Amino acid sequence: MKKDSLIKPIQKLSSIATGLETLLQLAGKQLIVGTPLGVGKPNALLNALWQRAREDDSLQLSIFTALSLALPRPKSLLEKRFLLPFVERHFGEGYPDLEYIQDVLNDTAPANAQVAEFYMQSGAFLGKPAAQRNYTSSNYTHAARDMADRGVNVIVQLVGLEQREGELCYSLGSNPDTTQDLLDIIARRGHKRPVVVAVVNRNMPFMTGKAERHADFFDLIIDDPDSQHQLFAPPIAAVNLVDHSIGLHAGTLIADGGTLQIGIGSLGDALVSGLKLRHTDTDAYQSLIKNCGISQRHKWLNTTELTVFKQGLYAASEMFMDGFMHLYKAGILKRKVWPDADIQNLINTRGLEPVVSSELFEALCESNALPPILDQHQLERLQTLGIVADDIVTEGDAWVTASGRKLGTDMRQAQQRADIIEHALLKGAELKGAAILHSAFFMGSKPFYTWLHSLKGGERDLFQMTTVSQVNELYGGEELDRAQRLKSRFVNTTMKVTLLGAAASDGLDNNQVVSGVGGQYNFVAMAHALPDSRSILMVRSTHGSGKTIQSNIAWTYPYDTIPRHLRDVVITEYGIALLRGKSDEDCIKAMLCVADSRFQSELMQTAKQHGKLATDWQIPEIFQQNTPADLCSRYAQARSNGQIPQWPFGSDFTEVELRLVKALGWLKQATKTRTGQIKTVIQSFFGMPAKAEYSEHLQRMDFLEVTSFEEKMNRRLLLLALTKTT
């Protein structure tokens, strides 16, 4: 547990209201507040601050954060009837939704309060002027610097709590990501340390390592029994055929003994689902790869290597989420790494077992990983790694054991080296400090949080939450990072990719921000910096439907997140485009082969018109049928035998709700246009089924008894949708 080096009084309070007053006394009325992204926000305290700003215009409040999560707010009657019961059940009664979000959405924030984000909930703030104007475009690794530049003078964070031997221990839980980086930057600049406020929530899983903090790290600790709300848990996503196909293609590039980074959402779930099948039933997996046409389309794939994960994977991912839990439970996430570059390199290159032995110690000496003379620093290093007993101390240039035996520390002397091996080493003990995952923040489903709570002792220590500066880049610890991050695969999602490999992942062509850069640029750049590593960008080939369908593979796009010179691997549901080191023409060819065939001809002609593609080149025949119909045909058998399930990791919805989701989805699509609305309403008056046939669904939507015209009309539409989606 790390103690803050500065001894200072700590104020512990038992209510948000008292905490707010104390915070204002400590920090004044000019508040520049930094608060973590995702689930690390203390919503109740932030709401109290926002309300105070509304009431007191002398208070100047600026909040800098990312990923402010909002409960879904239904608009139509059908949405209300479906969502409100689910939200109450799923998030728990009394979940404190962030009040500033609605003011930002409605452009009703008080003049003395503003919110700036460097990453927004995907699509939630499109067309919202206040959010779009205050968005700060930053790499995740630069967020702490940008917070320091703004003069952040308050940090507020939700923390976990654990009691050990009568002492209360605290954990930054989900978000050690930017807090320590920010404090380090401010300290280096010689500026005043911000007021650091912890709000205790016992639903926050307690994580150890760099997330664990002594009480004196904080200036103010608020432990309010009335604010122990559940953590925000996005509902588990369904995985459709397109996403499964993309995930299966991506999974063929994941190397045993390697490193993995993935993100949240259905594409990540699809990748994990495929990897689990590969590991648990290799024959079925390889048959799937063949029967779905993946191996035929990509002759360069060595499918014989797509077998069980004997060495397993290590995760270095800014986000820790459900997918890694599933990989761990399946026995895939198991490759351990150690916090010492020399040890890690010896394990990598010599295949040494991570167990204390004379062989390991001799290898450290012979490789110059240990200096000729073992000083106090080296003793502490070896004790931290569990190589040398903790009760050994230094006296002059010698080590002294607990029994009083003096040991020489000149490793050039054979006898002194032998004495160290005989009397100081903890032979047979496993090396300390192992990790199978390093991550900067976590967020996931309710089962994921329950699982995190269940982790204890050494198993919990394998999952190490740390700073974003450690996870998302190589600077500051490059030797160790390079030793740990073998055969890395950085797998991310994007929205648009040009034929030349540039990708737009966070914004539209009108500069409206969909989400944010996050760590994507860092991981793409890291893939080019690490040997045997790849950046994999997953993109659905199209978006929209019917007359509004558009290709996500474009000739050009006015905005990009990843420039074309960092192009590497792009995957759509139709295949894998290997772009690294290729000429522009070869990139265009590869991208055309993974584009939807309804757009291939126009894209190809454009490339030829601009002299970037030979006029006689044609798309290979096997890629000329890149259509949804062909995709369904190729995966028909896999769908029927359950190899690509819609809900590979379960669902937060009941069976009745899943049926309603399907019906409501159909209804939304059918009524997108004015003509569609009229047609659907007319249909609803003919051939309606008996109410008893769908009584459970009507009961769930509170439509068994209806009185108003609005209720009657919506019940008709719902029944129509149910009949159309059987």
Give average pLDDT by consecutive 10-residue segment, the chain, 726 residues.
Answer: 53 94 96 96 97 96 96 92 94 92 95 96 92 94 95 97 91 96 96 97 95 95 94 94 97 97 91 97 94 94 93 97 97 97 94 93 94 95 96 94 94 95 95 97 96 96 96 93 98 97 94 93 96 97 90 95 97 98 98 98 98 97 96 94 93 94 91 88 80 88 93 92 88
11-227 fold = Glutaconate Coenzyme A-transferase (3.40.1080)
- Which pLDDT does position 223 carry in this prediction? 96
User: Do residues 624 and 600 lie in contact, with contact meaning Cβ atoms separated by under 8 Å?
Assistant: yes
SS3 (DSSP) at 393: strand
Separation between Cα atoms, residue 234 and residue 152, nearest integer Å = 29
Question: For residue range 195-231, what is the model confidence (pLDDT) as tens digits?
Answer: 999 999 999 999 998 999 999 999 999 999 998 999 9
- The amino acid present at 38, given as its one-letter code, is G
- Which pLDDT does position 6 carry in this prediction? 44
- The amino acid present at 245, given as its one-letter code, is S
pTM score of the predicted model:
0.94
- Which pLDDT does position 166 carry in this prediction? 83
List, by residue range, all CATH 3.40.1080.20 domains of the chain: 241-314+478-630
User: Do residues 401 and 423 lie in contact, with contact meaning Cβ atoms separated by under 8 Å?
Assistant: yes
- Please state at what angle helix 709-724 crosses helix 674-683, rounded to 10 degrees: 90
- The amino acid present at 259, given as its one-letter code, is T
Separation between Cα atoms, residue 83 and residue 667, nearest integer Å = 16
Q: Which residues contact 119 (CB under 8 A, 6 or more apart)?
A: 37, 66, 67, 140, 515, 516, 517, 518
Indicate the Cα dihedral angle 367, 368, 373, 376, nearest 10°.
-100
Separation between Cα atoms, residue 483 and residue 349, nearest integer Å = 10
- Which pLDDT does position 293 carry in this prediction? 93
Helices (H), 35-156: 43-55, 77-91, 99-106, 129-134, 143-149
Separation between Cα atoms, residue 485 and residue 489, nearest integer Å = 9
Helix (H) / strand (E) containing 221? strand 220-222
Pick the closest to residue 154 from 228, 54, 62 (CA basis): 62
Q: Which residues contact 171 (CB under 8 A, 6 or more apart)?
A: 159, 160, 161, 162, 204, 205, 206, 207, 208, 211, 212, 213
List, by residue range, all CATH 3.40.1080.10 domains of the chain: 11-227
Helix (H) / strand (E) containing 275? helix 266-280
241-314+478-630 fold = Glutaconate Coenzyme A-transferase (3.40.1080)
